[in-house]
Amino acid sequence: MKLHTLLCLGCLLVALAPPARADVTIRLDVKAVLNPATGARQSGVNDASFAICFAEMNAMLQSFQRGYRLQWNGNAVQNVGGLNQFNSGPSQYYSVDFVNATNGGVLKDQFEANAIANPATYGWDANAVNIYIVQFGGANWNVCSFPDEQIILVNGVRGYTNSSTVLHEIGHYFNLSHTFNGRQNLNANDSTCTNGCSCAQLIGGGSDGVADTILDHDCWDSQNDIAQGNYGLNYAGLNGTQAANVDNMWWNLMSYHNRQHVTDRFTPDQMDRWTDTANSDRTTVRTGRTRFVATTGNDLNAGSSTSRYRTLTRGIAFVNDPDDIVLLRSGSYNEPQTITKGLTLRATRGNATIGKP
């Protein structure tokens, strides 16, 4: 197939024989930990509710135009644990406050280690993101795992039915930090304050490792707060670029603003960070991978988001799976050629022109 065309932002261009869905698929395996006192699921935990959450997450991923799709193993929530498992088996973790309990972190690590060591008992799938629905004893939290850990724990009905919450935790799994990382709560004299959102100074954090996110704070509860914290202006007084930056925080899946509304976006740099992790640390849970290309790159680079290839030809050369994506930054790639393998071409941050003199 000869290329002499304009590749639009995010659109699919090529999927050659054999036909491919042209998505990088992330496999999910979802388990309901049973109540050891009754042997039953928590009230309200059912397949139909998670099916809605699952569809909403895929709709959000599709809107990012980066070729990611979730696959739910079996399209059903698996039961693990059982009656009288108070001190052993999955149900020993049915009702634990993994966040606030003094030994919560230890128990989380123990849960994960036991699950990996006893996959049949715990329903563990080494080739999927493992999500367990538990009860946190009333605490409204969920527990993630960054790339050095594996398990995701969601808190009952409020956790597993909220697509923003579940995708937030999956974001952590792919090495995305909170947008407010590094934020400070200070007293008026600049000393450390322990009064939470009642502190005199709420200083936004910018340590999420992503270049296209501005400062954020988990106590800022309006677009005006974010605008004031970054620009010293109310939202209505911002220019277009500033307003877009604020919107990217207000609606960001890695913020805590889903307390005010449903969040639904990652920024391009967040998706780059997700993709680098999928390409390296999380290879067992996905199909395909993404190769990054930019006119400012170098064909001796590694093809990551921060070490991009220079040519489309180089990106295609490393494709070995029909689900692979070659992702081009905007620009002109004067490389007329014939592609004889299955792949997908996508563009990010603007249009890419291919094979144009």
* pLDDT tens digits along 42-70: 999 999 999 999 999 999 999 999 999 99
What interhelical angle do 223-231 and 240-250 show, nearest 10? 120
Q: Which residue has the tokens 């919450």?
A: 165
CB contact at 8 A, 75 and 47: yes
Average pLDDT for 252-274? 96
76 confidence band (pLDDT: 50, 70, 90): very high
pLDDT tens-place string over residues 172-196: 999 999 999 999 999 999 999 999 9
The answer, yes or no, to whether residue 295 has pLDDT greater than 50, is yes
52: number of Cβ within 10 Å: 11
- Residue 140 structure tokens: 């409204």
What band does 22 get if pLDDT is binned at 50, 70 and 90?
low
User: What percent of the chain lies above the pLDDT cut of 70?
Assistant: 93
Average pLDDT, the chain: 92
pTM of the prediction?
0.93
337: pLDDT strictly greater than 90: no
Higher pLDDT, 243 or 14: 243
- Banded pLDDT at 307 (limits 50, 70, 90): very high
Find the mean pLDDT for residues 300-328: 96
DSSP 197: G
Confidence of residue 136 (pLDDT cuts 50, 70, 90): confident
Q: In this structure, are strands 129-134 and 184-186 parallel, antiparallel, or unpaired?
A: unpaired
The reported pLDDT for the residue numbered 356 is 63
CA 165 to chain centre: 10
The span from the CA of 205 to the CA of 22, in Å, is 37
pLDDT of residue 21: 54
| Pairing status of strand 129-134 against strand 24-33 | parallel
